[in-house]
Structure 1
Amino acid sequence: MKDNFSTQAQTYAKFRPGYSHDIINYIASFTATKNLALDIATGNGQVAAKLAGHFKTVYATDISEKQLENAIPADNIIYKLERAEHTSFDDKMFDLITVAQAIHWFDFDAFYKEVYRILKPDGLFVVMGYGLFSTNPESDRIIRHFHQETLGDYWDPERRYVDEDYKTIPFPFEEIVAKQFLDTFTWTFEHLIGYIDSWSAVQHYIKKNGSNPVDLIRDELKESWEKSDGKAVFPLLLRVGKLRL
């Protein structure tokens, strides 16, 4: 598993979109028993914090100590610094395991072997994420050109799984057909820029070139954004499965 987000952990925690209570409630509705949940690659704990309202105890792991330092605290969340593919948990321990916006970084074979070890036989495995957002037509044009052309060579190869809506990831589970969700946010221009700054490809560009590529679009994007309603609509990616026994 790659760690692409320690460098911008505070930016990530502040500007990344969260997951609505609707989608978390929907996921939790599939689990008859709500004792133990695990959120893997938890980042700043945004999913873990919402799961904490449904489960007696939530464990949340990440390989980034800086991300965990920015995680949302709760009395029933236990954060641990651990790799997704090799955990310290007991066999058949969890009622629910979630991974949000991170599974594309994993070693699939090793990770799924671990899921099969630590998930209860009747437990649920859930992959979540969000695709590229849509907004007003002019800002969309600028952002998509930036995403595909300016940053094209700076995206990690694994990122294509997100662009393919997680439909092409290996998924060795008995799949449950999931409802589709959209999340809509109203952002200031500063929030929009903060979110784009948190992209891994932006950080790769800065590391290689010593300059922030967001500066190339900042003025034009600001003009289009400030003429709009500031809405950003994210398609949520969701796959839900049970162990094949």
Structure 2
Amino acid sequence: MSAFATKGFNANRYLSLRPTYNSNLLAWLNNYHAGPKARAADIACGPGIFTTDLAREFDSVIGVDLSPSMIASAQESAHARDITNVEYKVGTGESLPIESNSVDLLTVMEGVHWFKFDTFLDEALRVLKPGGTMALVGYKYPEVVGDTTRSFVNRLAFDEQYLLKYWDDGYKLVEGGYQPLVAPVKASAFENVRYVGYPEVWKQRIPEIEVLPEAWIDQRQSTLEELAGYFKTWSGYKAWMDDPPGRARCSSTSTLNSTWNQLNKTLTDTVAIDYPQFAIVARKPL
């Protein structure tokens, strides 16, 4: 997470390359929440990808992020779209700049794996109204449909000679579909805990996951250039870029070039990208 808060981070480029959520997600959350929609909070909101979606459903929304450049990009985006019921604040998941018992829905989209989780759960319970909903949503690294590129993605991300040492521990939670976070949520004061995911393949690894009927992130058509750009939005890549001695010792540069050239020989100019999704949702007791 700290990689996104460093000087020189380009939040607008991050916004243009990251996946977006479709209407199935909001419909599912509305059905689960089934409560008041006075105020929502989007934590680790980044450049406001989902925050502005919430603004269509709730009277007011607050977005919180550690990165000032993310907050500036989110504010710029909201202003450009004439969205006036969203407020953005710099803050952390462990110390939310939000009043107690003031939020009907609290979301964390692809960000809770950066938090000290027990502290965050206490904060979520504090700011949620009785009966309020918490939704922790994530997505795994992209998979190119019908190709072996997944092996390239995994090697780039998790091989010791590439980016492995530049990831915070949170990446393990993403790879595991947030499964280790389910037990702490169930052990907390939250109730009606549901653990869901898409597609069906999650069941092969995590039997207790509930498979969603529809995807929350649409399959994306991407050029190879855009796909390479997406890889460069990874926090591990950003941390590597901020470590010149590491770059001198690491062959990631050649991987991003020579391996990419090999990939170009096996793929067309445009590829279909899937993002396996997962979420933990729970309710604060009345």
- TM-score normalised by the chain length of structure 2: 0.79
User: Which residue of the partner structure matches residue 233 of structure 2?
Assistant: 198
Q: Percent identity between the aligned chains? A: 26
Residue 99 of structure 1 aligns with an amino acid whose one-letter code is V
Note the 1:85-124 alignment, pairs <5 A. Answer: 85-124=94-133
Residues 1:145 and 2:144 are matched in the alignment: no
User: Which residue of the partner structure matches residue 54 of structure 2?
Assistant: 51
Residues 1:215 and 2:257 are matched in the alignment: yes
Q: 1:95 offset after TM fit, Å?
A: 0.6
Q: 1:111 offset after TM fit, Å?
A: 1.2
Uncovered stretches (5+) of structure 2, i.e. residues with no partner: 197-210
Residues 1:14 and 2:16 are matched in the alignment: yes
Residue 159 of structure 1 aligns with an amino acid whose one-letter code is Y
Residue 57 of structure 2 aligns with an amino acid whose one-letter code is H
Q: 1:177 offset after TM fit, Å?
A: 4.9
Contact preservation (8 Å) 1:39, 1:61: yes
Contact preservation (8 Å) 1:154, 1:204: yes
Q: 1:30 offset after TM fit, Å?
A: 2.4
Uncovered stretches (5+) of structure 1, i.e. residues with no partner: none
User: Which residue of the partner structure matches residue 78 of structure 1?
Assistant: 87
Show CA shifts across 1:73-115 (max 9, x none): 0211111112222123222111100001110111112211111
Partner residue of 1:231 out of 265, 272, 275: 272
User: Which residue of the partner structure matches residue 158 of structure 1?
Assistant: 170
Cα distance in 1, alignment partners of residues 259 and 241 from structure 2: 15
Cα distance in 2, alignment partners of residues 25 and 18 from structure 1: 15
Contact preservation (8 Å) 1:139, 1:224: no
RMSD: 1.9
SS at match of 2:32: coil
User: Which residue of the partner structure matches residue 27 of structure 1?
Assistant: 29
Residue 196 of structure 1 aligns with an amino acid whose one-letter code is F
Cα distance in 2, alignment partners of residues 120 and 201 from structure 1: 36
Cα distance in 2, alignment partners of residues 118 and 26 from structure 1: 22
1:79 to 1:230, Cα distance in 2 relative to 1, 3 A: same
